[in-house]
Every structure is written in C-alpha cells, then in structure tokens.
C-alpha cells in the first residue's frame, strides 16, 4: 500500500511525533542583542525570504499533517510588514490548537490587543535586564521603557500565560536573576532562563567565559524565593518550578546542562524557507524551492515534509568551549 502523507502524523526515525512548528517570518530585527547577532549584520534580500502567502500555505500544510501548535518568531516578527494579517489568517486555521509568538516586546504597546484578537493565545517576551543602561548595551539599540510598556499592554490584553525569556550571561546580567523573577511575580507572569547557545559567531563576548548554568541560577534564586518543582511537561525543553506564594513559574532552558532531545516534537521554518530539523544541526530541506516550483501544490509540499522527517537528527551536540559548529545566527533560525 502506498504511504499516504495525508492521514499519518509526522513521525521521525526515532518514533518522535512532530506536532510543533516554529516559523521565523523575518531575519530582521530592531535590536542587535549581543548573544544573537553580530553588530554588523547583513540581512537577506526580500526575494530570498518567503512571502507571507507562502508562509501561510506552508503553515496550513503542516496543520493538515497534524501539527497543532505554531510559534511565530524571527528576527523580530512584529517588524515585518503584514505580520498582523498573517497572524489573523493563521488564527483561523482549522486544526491549529495553539498559535503563539515570541517577540522582543518593542511593538507590543501598540499591537498587543490586535495580536490577541487575531487568535494568538500566548506570547513570550524577551527581557534580560531591568536596568535601562544595561538593556541598551545588551540589545545595542533597545529602549527598556518601551518594552516595559509592551509587557503591560500584553498583560492588559489578557494573553493566557505570558512568559519572559532571559538569556543569562555571566558578568552581564547574572546578578539580576532574582530581580527578574520578582518582576515576573509582580506582573503575575512566568519567566524562563536560557543558557546561551553557540549559534553564529558573536564578536562581543567569549561564550565559554560568559556561560552561566541553569543550576547556578536556581541556587541563586533560592536565596530569595522558595521554588517547588513542577512535573507538568509543556512538551518543550523547559523544566518548571513554582514560585511559592505566587502564580508565577520559573523555567530553565538548558541546552548544555540538560539534554532534551529525546522528547523533541518540533521543527523550524527559517525566513528563507528552509525546514530545519534540529536547532543544533544543519540538516534541512528547502521548502521554498518546493513551493516556488509548484505553487499551490499541497500534495508535493506534504510529501517533501513527510520525507524530511527521515533526516531529523537524534540530538544536538553543543559545545560552548568550541567555535560554533552552527554558523547561522539565532535570528535566522527563529529562537
């Protein structure tokens, strides 16, 4: 009997079901965070990135193959013209249970309510420091008060669980982890701390020296908060702890100190239209070529996606002490 891509869920060689797609809708950004980009970045020309219609078509096809969660990310997704229209279309896809987004928060003050109305259930907002001067240094261009207004607008818009994301670098912001948790508790939102990943060459710091492990952050936090481990798995790489006496949870994303590959349920679509099977490997398939060769042919696209599952690697091998093996920066990949 012939293999039908229409009826089966996406399963890789290791039996992992892929039901989560992360989509970078642009490699551009209004910030230049030290850990994400070099100061001088060259961005892709418009013709090389997927059009919004192509993104919508690819997302729809993934949903047809059983993907139930899509995260829109970038670059900064909200700096792409038409981002809101895309969210509105994706919000109406039958079979998509969760449309979520990751943003640096710079546009939320004006856009949060419309994003919620479009059907985005949850958002993650990046925030590494509460010190405006340090924020400017870490993001190179960012304005902290603007992002704080964005966070307030997101809270007011009523998203289900807002989560802050903080990348922690030793001697840059590691002394602020408890203040960041205090801020999250005050706002009634969650926060995850992320270990820096060696993606692309950065010129601002030595990643090996700046490495600050999750376990150390947890110990630091316990000086000020009582944290109780939570068993609920969100299907993602975060491990969560409840901040006692509050509604907030603290998560740790530890690509170095805790490997989460065995339960990986996700793939990524880059702004250029490459389907990346693993954040820490180069295995990918050019879906832009497929959709541009046969526009509107969902069967061809489905077959390409089903076939791609065969090259999803078993795990990543990050080594913070080596030169990055992955030369693409996070803004291309979609974090």
Considering CB distances under 5 to 8 angstroms, the limit depending on partner class, which of ligand SAM, ligand SF4, none binds residue 194? ligand SAM
Rounded distance between C-alpha atoms, residue 226 and residue 212, angstroms: 21
Q: Is there binding between residue 198 and ligand SF4 (CB under 6 A)?
A: no
- Note whether 78 binds ligand SF4 by CB under 6 A: no
Q: Of 179, 196, 176, 184, which is closest to residue 241 (Cα–Cα)?
A: 184
139 binds ligand SAM (CB under 6 A): no
Binding pattern for the stretch 8-37 against ligand SF4, x by CB under 6 A and - elsewhere: ---------------------x-xxx--xx
Q: Does 204 bind ligand SF4 (CB under 6 A)?
A: no
The two three-digit tokens of residue 232, written as one number? 């609920």
Using alpha carbons, list the distances in angstroms from residue 30 to 55, 85, 105, 140, 326.
21, 20, 11, 10, 23
Q: Answer with the entry of ligand SF4, ligand SAM, none that 328 interacts with (C-beta below 5 to 8 A by kind).
A: none
Residue 261: half-sphere exposure toward Cβ, Cα within 13 Å: 18
Indicate the burial class of 152 (C-beta count within 10 angstroms; 0-12, 13-18, 19 or more): middle
Sheet holding 69-73, edge to edge: 227-229, 239-243, 249-253, 190-194, 163-167, 122-126, 98-103, 69-73, 20-24, 266-269, 274-276, 284-286
236 forms part of the interface with ligand SAM (CB under 6 A): no
Q: Which does 32 bind (CB under 5 to 8 A by kind): ligand SF4, ligand SAM, none?
A: ligand SF4
Q: What is the nearest approach in angstroms of ligand SAM to the Cβ of residue 5? A: 30
Q: Cβ 314 to ligand SAM, closest distance in Å?
A: 21
With binding defined as CB under 6 A, does residue 36 bind ligand SAM?
A: yes
> Which is nearer to ligand SAM, 28 or 66 (by Cβ)?
28
Contact residues toward ligand SF4 (CB under 6 A) are 29, 31-33, 36-37, 74-76, 104, 126, 330-331
């Amino acid at each position: 009997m012939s293999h039908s891509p229409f009826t089966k869920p996406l399963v890789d060689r290791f039996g992992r079901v892929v039901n989560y797609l992360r989509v970078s809708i642009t490699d551009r950004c209004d910030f230049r965070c030290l850990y994400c980009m070099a100061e001088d970045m060259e961005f892709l020309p418009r013709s090389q990135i997927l059009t919004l219609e192509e993104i919508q078509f690819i997302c729809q096809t993934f949903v047809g193959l059983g993907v139930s969660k899509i995260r829109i990310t970038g670059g900064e997704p909200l700096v792409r013209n038409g981002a809101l229209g895309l969210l509105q279309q994706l919000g109406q896809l039958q079979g998509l249970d969760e449309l979520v987004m990751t943003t640096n928060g710079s546009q939320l003050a004006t856009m949060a309510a419309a994003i919620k109305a479009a059907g985005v259930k949850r958002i993650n907002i990046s925030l590494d420091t509460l010190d405006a001067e340090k924020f400017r240094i870490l993001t190179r261009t960012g304005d902290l008060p603007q992002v704080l207004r964005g966070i307030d607008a997101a809270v007011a818009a009523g998203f289900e669980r807002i989560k802050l994301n903080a990348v922690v670098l030793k001697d840059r912001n590691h002394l602020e982890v408890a203040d960041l948790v205090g801020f999250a508790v005050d706002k009634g939102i969650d926060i995850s701390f992320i270990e820096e990943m060696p993606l692309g060459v950065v010129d601002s710091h030595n990643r090996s020296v700046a490495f600050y492990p999750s376990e150390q952050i947890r110990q630091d936090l316990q000086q000020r908060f009582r944290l109780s481990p939570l068993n609920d798995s969100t299907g993602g790489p975060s491990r969560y702890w409840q901040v006692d006496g509050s509604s907030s949870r603290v998560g740790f994303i530890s690509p170095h100190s805790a490997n989460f590959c065995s339960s990986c349920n996700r793939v990524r679509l880059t702004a250029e239209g490459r389907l990346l099977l693993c954040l820490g490997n180069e295995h990918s398939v050019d879906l832009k070529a497929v959709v541009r060769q046969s526009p509107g042919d969902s069967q061809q696209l489905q077959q390409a996606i089903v076939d791609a599952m065969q090259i999803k690697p078993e795990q990543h091998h990050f080594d913070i002490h080596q030169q990055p093996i992955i030369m693409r920066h996070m803004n291309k990949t979609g974090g």
